[in-house]
């Protein structure tokens, strides 16, 4: 029986390479493995090269043909993806049954998660567009046109795969002058996906907001859906799960405005102000004049109350003598 001993890296470069592949709370950018099949036409080969220009530097392009059939046996493809630390792949091939074949897919836990087979019906190379190109490593604006993207679960997965394939990074803020590239995916009535690439030009409009013009710069692809391999709902849900640290927990009575400021609402019961204990400080102390006025008012209240009690006693004595006189008169009679 073969031993399951794991050989530890002995060099600093090896340790760093393994640390890069370890699970992280915020994962690295997904790399794309681009490879050619056993037979590949010039059109497919050029399409892979043009797509590689969009994916640089997060792509690895294989320089030789590979005898791989992903839909029949994806083990060699999974091994190559693991070796090159890639989680997305583009595979091009040509056969008599399926000419100009392009397969897109993604890897999860070293196994194929989703895989879509497209047929390139029409292709125009990047070099045939004699227009000004964009700068390298520019993040594209991805646009999906058509109401049919949400009709079926299969089309929703294809949309999610295309977004995952061509999105370079997730950003929180943008600069208007930094937007140069638009990738458009249009789904027609016959389920053909039209892939177009445009360069954004900002023109003067006489106002604060510039006028935007789109110039097609290539490449241009018309893709038809052939075969699909979609992950199950449970596996897809597991792959989309986020770590607990990154989840935004909803807190009661706490809101956040557009500027990112946190506002909290506190509910306090009815307070008795008379029983409220205040801190003794110089600013709250009474002056000497206020103390003298308070003592004088207290003495006047006490004297007034004393006179009132004496008058009540006198009234009580007079009323008692009157009653005794009345009793004597009634006895004489």
CATH number, position 223: 3.40.50.10480
321 confidence band (pLDDT: 50, 70, 90): low
211 membership: H or E segment, kind and range: strand 211-216
Res 174: pLDDT: 79
Task: Say yes or no to pLDDT of 329 above 90.
Answer: no
Do 66 and 35 touch, CB atoms closer than 8 A?
Answer: yes
**Average pLDDT score, the chain:** 84
Res 312: pLDDT: 65
* Number of domain units in the chain: 1
Residue 261 lies in a domain: no
Residue 295 lies in a domain: no
pLDDT, one tens digit per residue, over 150-188 is 999 999 999 999 999 998 877 777 777 788 899 999 999
* Helix, strand, coil % over all residues of the chain, rounded to 5: 35, 25, 40
- In the chain the first and final C-alpha atoms are separated, in Å, by 139
Residue 224 lies in a domain: yes
Nearest to 90 by CA among 127, 124, 53: 53
Task: Say yes or no to pLDDT of 190 above 70.
Answer: yes
324 confidence band (pLDDT: 50, 70, 90): low
Res 281: pLDDT: 66
64 membership: H or E segment, kind and range: strand 59-65
pLDDT, one tens digit per residue, over 105-155 is 999 988 999 999 999 999 999 889 988 888 777 888 999 999 999 999 999
DSSP 8-state secondary structure symbol assigned to residue 70: T
User: In whole angstroms, how far apart are CA 7 and each of 12, 14, 15, 22, 82?
Assistant: 14, 11, 12, 16, 17
Q: What is the pTM of this model?
A: 0.69
Residue 285 lies in a domain: no
Share of residues in the chain with pLDDT > 90 (%)? 39
Determine the structural domain holding residue 44 and report its residue range: 28-230
Nearest to 86 by CA among 113, 59, 48: 59
pLDDT, one tens digit per residue, over 26-53 is 777 889 999 999 998 999 999 999 999 8
313 confidence band (pLDDT: 50, 70, 90): low
Q: Which residues contact 184 (CB under 8 A, 6 or more apart)?
A: 143, 145, 194, 195, 196, 197, 198
Res 171: pLDDT: 77
Res 6: pLDDT: 64
Task: Say yes or no to pLDDT of 189 above 50.
Answer: yes
Task: Say yes or no to pLDDT of 233 above 70.
Answer: yes
């Amino acid at each position: 029986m073969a031993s399951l001993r794991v050989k530890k890296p002995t060099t600093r470069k090896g340790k760093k390479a393994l640390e890069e592949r370890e699970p992280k709370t915020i994962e690295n950018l997904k790399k794309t493995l681009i490879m050619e099949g056993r037979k590949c036409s010039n059109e497919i080969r050029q399409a892979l090269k043009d797509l590689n220009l969009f994916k640089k530097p997060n792509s690895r392009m294989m320089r030789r043909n590979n005898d791989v059939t992903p839909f029949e046996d994806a083990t060699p493809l999974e091994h190559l993806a693991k070796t090159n630390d890639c989680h997305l792949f583009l595979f091009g091939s040509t056969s008599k049954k399926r000419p100009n074949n392009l397969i897109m897919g993604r890897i999860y836990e070293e196994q194929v998660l989703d895989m879509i087979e497209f047929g390139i019906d029409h292709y125009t190379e990047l070099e045939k567009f004699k227009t000004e190109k964009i700068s390298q490593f520019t993040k594209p604006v991805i646009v999906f046109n058509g109401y049919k993207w949400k009709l079926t679960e299969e089309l929703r997965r294809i949309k999610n795969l295309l977004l995952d394939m061509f999105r370079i990074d997730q950003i929180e803020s943008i600069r208007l002058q930094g937007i140069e590239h638009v990738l458009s995916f249009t789904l027609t009535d016959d389920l053909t996906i039209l892939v177009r690439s445009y360069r954004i030009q900002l023109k003067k409009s006489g106002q604060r907001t510039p006028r935007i013009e789109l110039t097609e710069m290539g490449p241009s692809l018309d893709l038809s859906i052939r075969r699909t391999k979609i992950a199950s709902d449970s596996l897809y849900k597991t792959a989309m799960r986020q770590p607990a640290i990154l989840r935004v927990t909803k807190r009661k009575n706490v809101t956040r405005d557009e500027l990112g400021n946190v506002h909290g609402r506190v509910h306090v019961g009815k307070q008795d102000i008379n029983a409220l204990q205040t801190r003794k400080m110089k600013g709250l102390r009474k002056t000497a004049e206020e103390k003298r006025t308070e003592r004088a008012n207290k003495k006047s209240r006490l004297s007034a109350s004393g006179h009132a009690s004496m008058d009540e006693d006198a009234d009580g004595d007079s009323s008692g003598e009157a009653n005794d006189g009345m009793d004597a008169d009634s006895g004489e009679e």
